[in-house]
Every structure is written in structure tokens, then in C-alpha cells.
Amino acid sequence: MSRLGVGKSVRRFGRLRAVSRGRKVVATSLAVVTSIVTIATVAVVAVGAVNVLSSTSSPSHLNGVDAGRWVVARDQSGAPVVPSSGGAAGGAGSFNAVSCPSATECVAVGGDANLGGVASTSLNGGGTWSQGAMEANEPQLDAVDCSTTSVCVAVGQGATVRSTDGGKTWTSNAIPTTNTTLLGVNCPSATTCVSVGVSPNATGPYGGQLLISSNGGTTWSVPTLPASMGALGSVDCPTSTFCVAVGSSVVVSNDGGKTWAQRTVSGGTGVLRSVSCLSTTTCVAIGANPGVAQDPNAAAFETVTSDGGATWSSVAMPPGSATLDVLSCSSSGCQAAGSAFKGTAAPVFVSSSGSTWTANQSLGASVTAISAISCPTGTNCVFVGEKGKSPVTVSTVNGVATSGGPVIAQVRAQRVVAR
């Protein structure tokens, strides 16, 4: 659904690296292990690393210019490229995000080898996939959420797209901000959607962006934002009024995204990559810890609220969880995953409440990175990511992998919708 980390780099900001992905991105920061992706941001509170991207990408999505059939209302030429652990890269397509509106239907989005947007749909819980059709020259997509089995909204580098047929075809829509990469989206209803992301900031690390829609992602507007809000990479709205967004800031809305307030974290935290809610009052946010470069037993960052976002407290994650940066929760529990480190398998941890976690290596040793998880129930989950150098999807039931495999054909080239 969403991305960010101190590494899904702030999916979606933690693993910092200098990346050449067809478009040049130069990262300047502490030396951080390459298995944690970064968005270059400042930690939410005093604890945590400062990461800075010194330059951004330059896609040719210019104000009012028809790039194929995709027309944008604002200049997006400076929208940053934000790499995702296990996600799309120049020369190697992959999925960056997945949303499963039912136990059988899932929609995954990402980029092809040229970082063009791709989307695929599964009607058997992630077992097999068929590719959807995009408008020409749509950029890569970083997050997706399906409010129903028909209506899905996906966002990415200066882009939002919408499907009303379960991901078979997609229509692009303009956004009201310039140079914006959207990394997270959540639609608690068929009409209400909230999207979060980043834009370059002339005075330092990325600044945060928040957009809201009252017509299911067809048009977007900028809500009232807190002053000096940091970069954001993930959002979840357990109701149509209560939403939480995280990254280098934690912000909460109680009016469907119209206004937002920043929250501090008792005990401190690092940059948070992913947030997901178990109920209308309890939400969990996690982020990868760049300290794994010095200590393989380092733990990921976690913070939890149990009072509807009013207060947040840090939670001690287990040793060895440092690369966890994607999360999916339902009323029956949470699952978190991340990247392999020094030859280990991609880690998977499970929790019934978000307060205590147990390792559950259900994906197999060959899966090296997970870019996103969607769990339509607490025990049925679909993971998308990377197996070596190839994109992969894996479905699990009760913690046991039941299906999945390489999906190279689904991310090899952008499929354009017929006109």
C-alpha cells in the first residue's frame, strides 16, 4: 500500500545508496548497508540518522506537455526517483506494491526495466498474474490501494492512476503539486483517498507531501499541512476520518485528511517506513535501522499507538530485525518483512498485537528482498519482491508458502491501453 524508510529508502527512508537506475540519483549520507533502501530524510526525533539525497531525477514529464497520452497539470521534471528494496530498478522491472481487496483478488504495481509503470492482477490469491494496461509513458508506480474489488488507485513519480475494473485498465490523473513523488496511498472508501510522498527541499532533505481526494482518486487537492513536515512514505486510514502517515514525521488526521497534526514518539524513534492499523484505534509503524551495517543483531524501529493516534510509544523489536521496512496488519495480527543481509533470507516477523514479534521464515532462503505485503486476513498474505535478480510473488497461508514464483513477464515491458 505504501513505501518509506531510514532506510523503502525514508516503500517505501533507511537503505541509502548511490543509485543509477536509468535516471541518476546521487545519495549522500552515512554509509548504510545496501540491503536497506533510503529516501533520505531526517529522523522523527533526536534519535536516528540524517540522510540527504543531493540530487534528484529528471523525468521528461513537463507542464502541459503530452508525453504520449499521459498529460500532467504540473511540472514533474524534478520528481525524485525513490528506489525500493526488492522493487523496480533501471534494467530490471519488479513490483513495488501490492493490495489485496479480497482473499482471492490482488493488484500489484511497479516498473518495467525502463521504469515505465506496470500493473498486474491475480484472481487466485497471488498464484498467477495477468498484466493490466496503462496509458502510454506512465512512470513507475510506488503504491496501490484497492477500496473494492473493482476500484484501485496507484501513485508514483509525479503520477496517480485509477482503475475501475479491478486493475485491467488504468487512467492517469493529474496532481496539484510540482516535482512530487508519491510513495503511499490509502482509500478507506470508494470516494476518500489519501496519498503521501516527497518533493525536493532547497534547504535540505526532502519535504513531505500530502494529497487528498473526495472522488476516489479522480482529482486531488492539498490539505492543511503542519509546518516543517518531514518526508512521508506510508499512510493508513482505518476509517474514513482517522488517518496516520509516517516517515521522518508522524502526522495524524481525524477529519479524513483535511487537516493534520504532528505527533512525537515517547522514547524516540528513527525514520519510519511503513504504517498499518489493526483497528480503528491501534496502529503500528516500523522502519529499517541503518545500524545493521555495524551490528547484524540490530533491531528495526517500531512505534505504536493504541488511542487513535493521540500518543505514540517506541517498542523494542527483536534482535536481527533491522532490515524490516514493510508491514501489513489486520484485526488478527501483523506481518513485517525486509531485505536479506549478508547472505541471510529476507526476514519475516509476525505479531498478534504489534507489541511482540516472532521470526517466521516462511518465504524460503532464495527470496532476497520484499518490497510490499498485503494480508487480506491475518493468516493469508501476498508478498512481492525479489528472488536474486528476478521479481517474485509469494502467497502464504498460516505462515506457509502455498504458491508463487517469478513474474518476469508481468514487468518486462509497459502494456499500453487500447484506444
Which cell goes with 312? 505514540
Look-up of cell digits 523525468: 59
* Helical (H) or strand (E) element with 250: strand 250-253
For residues 385 and 363, give the distance between their C-alpha atoms in angstroms, rounded to a whole number.
11
Q: What is the mean pLDDT of residues 189-199?
A: 95
pLDDT for 11 equals 42
Number of other residues whose CB lies within 10 A of the CB of residue 22: 18
Look-up of cell digits 545500524: 291
Mean pLDDT check: name the lowest of 65-74, 125-134, 195-204, 382-391.
65-74
Q: Decide if pLDDT at 66 tops 70.
A: no
204 Cβ contact partners less than 8 Å away, ≥ 6 residues apart = 42, 52
Position with higher pLDDT, 203 vs 83: 83
pLDDT for 5 equals 35
Q: Decide if pLDDT at 37 tops 50.
A: no
pLDDT for 402 equals 83
Mean pLDDT check: name the lowest of 52-66, 91-105, 222-236, 364-378.
52-66
Q: What is the tens place of the pLDDT at every residue in 204-216? A: 678 899 999 999 9
Residues in the chain: 419
Please state the separation of Cα 417 from the chain's center in Å: 25
Q: What is the tens place of the pLDDT at every residue in 129-144? A: 999 999 888 999 999 9
Mean pLDDT check: name the lowest of 37-41, 65-69, 169-173, 258-262.
37-41
Going by CATH, does the domain composed of 19-410 fall within 1.20.1630.10?
Answer: no
Mean pLDDT check: name the lowest of 14-28, 109-123, 174-188, 263-277.
14-28
Position with higher pLDDT, 363 vs 180: 180
Q: Checking DSSP bridges between strand 106-111 and strand 333-338, what pairing results, if any?
A: unpaired
Number of other residues whose CB lies within 10 A of the CB of residue 56: 23
* Helical (H) or strand (E) element with 244: strand 243-247
Whether 81 contacts 57, CB under 8 Å: yes
Number of other residues whose CB lies within 10 A of the CB of residue 190: 14
Position with higher pLDDT, 59 vs 71: 71
Tell me the one-letter amino acid at 78.
G
pLDDT for 318 equals 94
pLDDT for 2 equals 45
Supply the DSSP symbol for 48: S
For the entire predicted model, the pTM comes to 0.84
Q: What is the tens place of the pLDDT at every residue in 361-394? A: 778 778 889 999 999 877 789 999 998 888 999 9
Q: What is the mean pLDDT of residues 30-42?
A: 31
* Of 253, 272, 278, residue with least CA distance to 329: 278
pLDDT for 418 equals 64
Number of other residues whose CB lies within 10 A of the CB of residue 47: 13
pLDDT for 58 equals 33
Q: What is the mean pLDDT of residues 246-254?
A: 95
Domain spans of the chain, in order of start = 19-410
Q: What is the tens place of the pLDDT at every residue in 280-322? A: 999 999 999 999 888 988 999 999 999 999 999 999 999 989 9
Whether 39 contacts 5, CB under 8 Å: yes
* Of 182, 230, 219, 213, residue with least CA distance to 80: 182
Supply the DSSP symbol for 363: S
pLDDT for 328 equals 95
Position with higher pLDDT, 30 vs 197: 197
pLDDT for 142 equals 96
Mean pLDDT check: name the lowest of 46-50, 81-85, 102-106, 109-113.
46-50
228 Cβ contact partners less than 8 Å away, ≥ 6 residues apart = none
